[in-house]
C-alpha cells in the first residue's frame, strides 16, 4: 500500500512537472526573437516594453541571466531604483558563477552607497576578496573610501587613522587605474577630504588630470609637486597647453639635473616633444646630448646615429653599443653595426656579429632583419643549405614580418616586389572554433555587443570581433593587431584571428580603381590599412584626410591633372572618391618612378622629390639595401609596414604561400 502511494505521488509530480514545463517551455527560436525585439526596444528608448520583453525570456535559456541584467538597465533608464537593484540582486544571488554576477554586485553596491552604505560596503568587500585583480575590485576600493569619508564627514572627530585609510584607497585607485572612469571622482573626493596630501600624491592626481585632458587642473596640481619628480609630466602638460618655451626649458633642465628621478619612458616622451618643437632635429639632439649625463642619453645617441650618414653609422652605433650594452637600444645598435659591416663588404665580421645578435636578442624587433641579411650573406657564397635555412627559419619564426616577405621573394626567385595581384577576400568570423550553443556568438548575432565585451574577459580577439560586427572596423583592427603582437609564437596563416588583424574592407572599390589605374589592388588595400586603419573620417594633424590620407593640396592637383571632377576637400571623406583619387595619385607616382613600387610607396609617404634625391645620392646594390638606407626613419618604417601588410594579405587570402 505504501509503495503504491509513493508511486502515485511520483507520478503526480511527474505529471505536474510535464504540465509546468509545457507552460513555460519556449523554443530557442522564439527566445531569440523576443530577446532581439527587447534589444531593439532598448535601443529605441522604449524601456518599459523592453523591460517586459526581457522578463519573458525563459529560465531554461542561457540568455536569462543576461536578460535579467538588461531588465536592471531598463529600470535604471526609467528611474526605478528599487526595480533596478532588485534585478541586480536577482542575478548575482541566483547565478553567482555567471560572468555578469561580479558586475551586477558592483552596480548594486554603487546604487547603495548613500541609501545603505553598510550593505554597499559588504558587496564591495566581497568583490575585493573574490576578484582582487579585477577592475571592479580597484573601483570597489574607491567606493569603500567614499563610504568611510561620508561616515565621518559630519562627525565632530574625524580620526587621522581613518583619513589615512581613505587616502590609501584613493591612492591605490590612481596608481592602478590613472585613466580609469572614476579617476576624476577620486581626485575631487580626495581634495575634499581636508587631509594632509603629499607631493607624490599631488603628482598622481596631476597625471590623471593630464590623461583626461584637464590640463589646467593638472597645471594647478603640478605647482604643489616637487619639480624634481614632476618635471617630465610638466613637459607633456606644458606642451598640451601650448606653453612651448616652458616645455623646452623643463626638458633641458630635467635632463641636466633630474633625469634620475623619473622613468626612462617619461624622459623619451620629453625628448620627443623637444625635438618636435625644434626646427632642426640634429641640432636639438646635439643640444640635449650636451646636457644629458644619465637616463635618456642612450636614446639621444640612438637618434643621433639614426641621422648620421651611412658611412659613419657603424662607428656611431658601435660607440652606443659599447657604452650601453644592456640598454633598451642595444639590440637595434648591434643590428646597425651588423649592417654597416655588410655595407663595407666585411661579410665574415658581419656574420659573426649577426649570429651574436641572434644569441643575445632572439625576440627583439631587429632579429628578423638580422636573420634575413645573414641569409643574403650566405647567398653571396652560394651556400644553398645555409641561406635557405635562414630564410625558412625566418618565415617560420616571424611569419608576419616585412623580412618574412623579403625572404619569400628570395626563396621563390621573384624579381619584382609584388607577388600577385590576386586575393580571395574571406569574411571576418568568430576567431575560434565554436558550437552553436556558444553564448558569445549568439549575443553577437543578437547584436548585444556590450555584453560580449563583458563576457570576453581578457580575450582581446573576441572584443575585436564584436567591434568589427558593430561596424567599428578601425578599433577592431587595432585591438586585434595589438593582441597579436603579444602572441610570441605566431599561429599559422589559416588561424581565423589573422582576418581580424588584416580585414579586407572596401576591397570592391579598391579593386575597381586599382584596375582602372593599373595599380596592384592588394597593395592599394595595404596602403589604405596603414594610412587610416580603414577609418573614412580619419584626419591627421597636418590635414591628410580619409581612407588613403590625402593632403587637400595633393588631391586637388591630382583631381585637376586627371580631370576627375571632384570637390576637394569634402570628397576626401567619401570612401569611393578618396580611394579613386588615392589610386590616381599612386599611378602618378609610379609613372614618374619608372614603375617601381618600392619607390612609389616610399614617395607616397616621403614625397617624390625626396625619393628621386635618395635614388641618386645613396649607394646601394639592390632594393633591400635601398630600403635599409632611406634617411627618413618614418618613410623607411612606412615602406616596411606597407609591404608587411601586403605580404600578410597575400599569405592569408591567396592560399599559395
Residues annotated as part of the active site: 531
Q: What's the rounded Cα separation, in Å, for the pair 158 and 162?
A: 7
Distances (CA, A) of 258 to 293, 296, 611, 653: 10, 11, 41, 52
Which residues 6+ apart lie within 8 Å of 135 measured at CB? Answer: 177, 180
Cβ neighbours for 391, distance < 8 A, ≥ 6 positions apart: 372, 375, 407, 408, 410, 411
Q: For residue 433, report the phi and psi dihedrals to the nearest 5 degrees.
A: -70, 140
Q: Quick one: CA torsion of 208, 209, 211, 216, rounded to 10 degrees? A: -160
Whether the bond between 569 and the residue before it is cis, its omega within 30 degrees of 0, is yes
Cα–Cα dist 653/493, whole Å: 9
Report the distance separating Cα 34 and Cα 51, nearest Å: 11
Residue 145 makes CB contacts below 8 A (sequence gap 6+) with 165, 166, 167, 168, 169, 170, 173, 189
Radius of gyration of the chain (CA): 31
Q: How far is CA 306 from CA 300, 446, 500, 538, 656, in A?
A: 10, 52, 34, 30, 38
- φ, ψ of residue 643 to 5 degrees: the values are -75, -25
Query: At 39, phi and psi to the nearest 5?
Result: -60, -40
Q: What is the DSSP letter of 491?
A: P
Burial code (b: 16+ CB inside 10 Å, e: under 16) for 72-90 equals bbbbbeeebeebbbbbbbb
Instruction: Give the sign of the dihedral formed by CA 437, CA 438, CA 443, CA 444.
Output: negative
Lookup: cell for 373: 641579411
- Picking from 475, 457, 461, 455, the residue whose alpha carbon sits closest to that of residue 429 is 461
User: Taking the alpha carbons of 377, 380, 385, 391 in that order, is the dihedral positive or negative?
Assistant: positive
Spatial separation of the C-alpha atoms in residues 204 and 184, rounded to whole Å:
11
Minimal CA–CA distance to 544: which of 535, 534, 554?
554
538: helix, coil or strand?
Answer: coil
What would the DSSP string read from start to end of 370-385? Answer: HHHHHHHHHHHTT-HH
Cell of 235: 613637459
Amino acid at each position: 500500500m505504501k509503495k503504491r502511494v509513493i508511486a502515485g505521488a511520483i507520478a503526480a509530480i511527474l505529471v505536474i512537472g510535464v504540465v509546468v514545463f509545457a507552460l513555460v517551455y519556449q523554443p530557442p527560436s522564439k527566445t531569440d526573437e523576443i530577446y532581439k525585439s527587447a534589444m531593439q526596444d532598448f535601443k529605441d528608448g522604449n524601456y518599459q516594453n523592453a523591460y517586459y520583453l526581457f522578463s519573458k525570456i525563459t529560465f531554461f535559456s542561457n540568455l536569462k541571466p543576461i536578460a535579467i541584467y538588461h531588465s536592471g538597465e531598463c529600470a535604471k533608464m526609467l528611474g526605478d531604483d528599487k526595480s533596478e537593484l532588485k534585478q541586480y540582486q536577482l542575478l548575482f544571488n541566483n547565478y553567482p558563477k555567471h560572468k555578469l554576477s561580479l558586475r551586477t554586485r558592483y552596480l548594486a553596491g554603487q546604487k547603495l552607497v548613500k541609501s545603505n552604505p553598510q550593505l554597499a560596503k559588504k558587496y564591495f568587500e566581497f568583490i575585493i576578496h573574490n576578484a582582487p585583480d579585477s577592475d571592479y575590485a580597484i573601483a570597489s576600493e574607491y567606493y569603500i573610501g567614499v563610504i568611510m569619508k561620508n561616515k565621518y564627514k559630519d562627525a565632530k572627530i574625524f580620526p587621522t587613522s581613518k583619513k589615512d585609510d581613505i587616502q590609501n584607497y584613493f591612492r591605490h585607485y590612481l596608481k592602478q587605474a590613472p585613466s580609469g572612469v572614476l579617476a576624476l571622482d577620486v581626485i575631487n573626493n580626495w581634495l575634499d577630504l581636508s587631509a594632509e596630501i603629499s607631493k607624490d600624491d599631488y603628482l598622481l592626481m596631476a597625471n590623471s588630470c593630464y590623461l583626461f585632458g584637464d590640463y589646467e587642473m593638472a597645471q594647478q596640481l603640478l605647482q604643489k609637486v616637487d619639480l624634481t619628480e614632476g618635471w617630465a609630466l610638466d613637459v607633456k602638460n606644458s606642451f598640451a597647453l601650448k606653453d612651448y618655451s616652458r616645455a623646452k626649458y623643463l626638458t633641458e633642465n630635467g635632463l641636466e639635473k633630474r633625469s634620475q628621478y623619473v622613468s626612462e619612458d617619461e624622459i623619451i616622451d620629453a625628448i620627443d616633444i623637444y625635438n618636435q618643437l625644434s626646427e632642426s632635429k640634429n641640432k636639438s639632439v646635439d643640444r640635449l646630448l650636451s646636457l644629458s649625463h644619465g637616463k635618456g642619453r642612450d636614446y639621444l645617441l640612438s637618434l643621433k646615429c639614426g641621422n648620421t650618414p651611412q658611412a659613419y653609422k657603424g662607428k656611431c652605433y658601435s660607440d652606443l653599443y659599447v657604452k650601453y650594452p644592456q640598454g633598451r637600444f642595444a639590440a637595434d645598435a648591434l643590428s646597425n653595426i651588423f649592417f654597416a659591416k655588410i655595407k663595407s663588404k666585411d661579410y665574415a665580421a658581419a656574420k659573426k656579429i649577426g649570429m651574436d645578435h641572434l644569441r643575445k636578442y632572439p625576440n627583439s624587433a631587429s632579429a628578423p632583419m638580422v636573420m634575413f641579411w645573414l641569409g643574403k650573406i650566405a647567398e653571396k657564397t652560394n651556400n644553398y643549405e645555409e641561406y635557405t635555412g635562414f630564410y625558412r627559419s625566418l618565415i617560420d619564426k616571424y611569419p608576419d614580418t616585412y623580412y618574412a616577405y623579403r625572404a619569400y621573394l628570395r626563396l621563390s626567385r621573384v624579381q619584382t616586389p609584388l607577388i600577385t595581384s590576386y586575393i580571395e577576400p574571406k569574411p571576418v568570423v568568430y576567431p575560434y572554433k565554436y558550437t552553436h550553443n556558444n553564448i558569445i556568438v549568439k549575443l553577437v548575432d543578437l547584436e548585444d555587443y556590450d555584453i560580449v565585451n563583458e563576457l570576453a574577459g581578457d580575450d582581446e580577439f573576441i572584443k575585436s570581433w564584436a567591434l568589427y560586427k558593430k561596424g567599428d572596423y578601425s578599433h577592431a583592427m587595432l585591438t586585434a593587431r595589438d593582441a597579436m603582437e603579444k602572441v610570441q609564437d605566431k599561429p599559422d596563416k589559416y588561424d581565423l584571428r589573422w582576418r581580424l588583424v588584416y580585414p579586407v574592407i572596401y576591397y570592391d572599390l579598391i579593386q575597381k580603381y586599382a584596375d582602372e589605374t593599373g595599380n596592384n589592388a592588394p597593395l592599394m588595400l595595404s596602403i589604405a590599412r596603414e594610412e587610416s586603419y580603414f577609418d573614412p573620417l580619419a584626419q591627421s594633424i597636418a590635414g591628410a584626410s580619409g581612407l588613403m590620407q590625402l593632403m587637400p593640396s595633393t588631391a586637388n592637383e591630382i583631381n585637376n591633372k586627371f580631370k576627375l571632377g571632384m570637390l576637394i576637400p569634402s570628397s576626401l571623406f567619401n570612401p569611393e572618391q578618396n580611394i579613386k583619387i588615392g589610386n590616381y595619385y599612386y599611378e602618378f607616382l609610379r609613372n614618374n618612378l619608372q614603375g617601381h613600387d618600392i619607390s612609389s610607396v616610399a614617395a607616397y609617404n616621403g614625397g617624390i622629390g625626396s625619393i628621386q634625391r635618395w635614388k641618386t645620392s645613396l649607394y646601394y646594390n639592390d632594393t633591400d639595401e635601398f630600403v635599409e638606407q632611406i634617411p627618413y626613419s618614418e618613410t623607411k618604417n612606412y615602406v616596411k609596414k606597407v609591404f608587411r601588410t601586403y605580404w600578410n594579405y597575400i599569405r592569408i587570402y591567396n592560399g599559395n604561400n
